[in-house]
Amino acid sequence: MPTAVAKKKPAAKPSKASTDVDRVFALMQKKERLHTALRPYLEKTNTVLGTILKHPFYVGPVNPQHAAMAHEVITTRQRLLDESIEAGQWDNALSLYEHQFLLDGFLEHADKFDDPTFWKLFGYTWRNQEQVWTNRKVFLTLFQANRPGREALMDEDEHEALRNLPDEFPVYRGFQGRGARGISWTTDREKAVWFANRFAMLDHLGEPKLLTGVARKDDVLGHFLGRGESEIVIDPAKVKKQNVTEAVVAKPAKNAAKKATKSAVEKRTSRYITHVPKTIPVGKILCHGGVIPQTPDQKPADNGFRPWIDDDGKSAEYGPCNCGWSGLPHYMPLAWLEGDRKEFDARNFPR
């Protein structure tokens, strides 16, 4: 009898996830010069990230000589935007914009929205945008828009919370420098103190301050409960009995903010290091603050750069940093990654 020939098993097909990863990696490695039309969106930095592209459909590090990945993302989002507009799917359309460009996207298409859609998407824009102070006059004008359907601005829990407020109630606003005339306040004093101090170690922004006042419910333009902020949007000219408290302005409050950013250091659960480490001790994590090293081997203390070792049990206070320092996985306090150092957040911009 002829010897049976064993059938070869077909080669396993690569998973979609691995295929997508390979494709992304290939795009990142592909040599392709950044399109001329995108060059106005470039922003150079003095960090190891080099150049940042800040475009409505792409915000992140980019090598102008290897820009295929950025081109792919922008082209894909533009195509999806065109399809969403044609289908009248405005929720999808607005979600394609990077958060710092949400207001631009809203304004570009707002004349096509019906009234409920206008207020619903304006609420989405307000909750997710990142440029409140810069665009405060634009936002105030939009909040005061004379259009029906305003109930779509807030959800039912927010409407109920607003109904339950007394006719007059205290409001608070935390700020630094000249930020008193903002439209975003809160009924939560502790939350306002947190906002006042979150960037307190950046001395150029000015001393952290807490502004208190009294608001009338009839003057409230919006009440938002997201992120536990109990936010009140109101024309600052309508807030009565305004007064800056001394407690937040005082030096101890500023020191408290520094503790919030590097709490483990203050609580003696961590220690600063004076060298570029080659390994990380078991049970520890490597961290640094908001001063970004200029090179992967920059020594601690140069240009104010201060790294430290912390317990891995404190990792919830940090996020992964993509700056490349030391060549080891390391972290930055969330107060920085979710504030002025978003481009170094490895969760959004992995190296």
pLDDT at 254: 43
Which of 132, 119, 195 shows the shortest CA–CA distance to 158? 119
pLDDT bin (cut points 50, 70, 90) of residue 176 is confident
DSSP string, 204-271: GG--EEEEEEEEEGGG--EEE-GGG--EEE--GGG-EEEEEEHHHHSHHHHHHHHHHHTHHHHTTS-E
Q: What is the pLDDT of residues 310-337, one digit of tens each?
A: 888 887 888 899 888 888 899 998 888 8
pLDDT at 225: 92
Q: Judge whether residue 119 has pLDDT over 50.
A: yes
Q: Judge whether residue 28 has pLDDT over 50.
A: yes
Assigned token pair, 59: 């915000």
Lowest mean pLDDT among 54-58, 264-268, 321-325, 346-350: 264-268
pLDDT bin (cut points 50, 70, 90) of residue 33 is very high
**Which of 63 and 228 is assigned the larger pLDDT?**
63
In percent, the amount of the chain with pLDDT more than 90 equals: 44
Coil, helix or strand for 84? helix
Average pLDDT of the residues of the chain = 83
pLDDT at 14: 52
Lowest mean pLDDT among 48-52, 196-200, 202-206: 202-206
In percent, the amount of the chain with pLDDT more than 70 equals: 81
pLDDT bin (cut points 50, 70, 90) of residue 5 is low
What average pLDDT does the segment 269-284 reach? 84
What average pLDDT does the segment 143-168 reach? 95
**Which of 194 and 168 is assigned the larger pLDDT?**
168
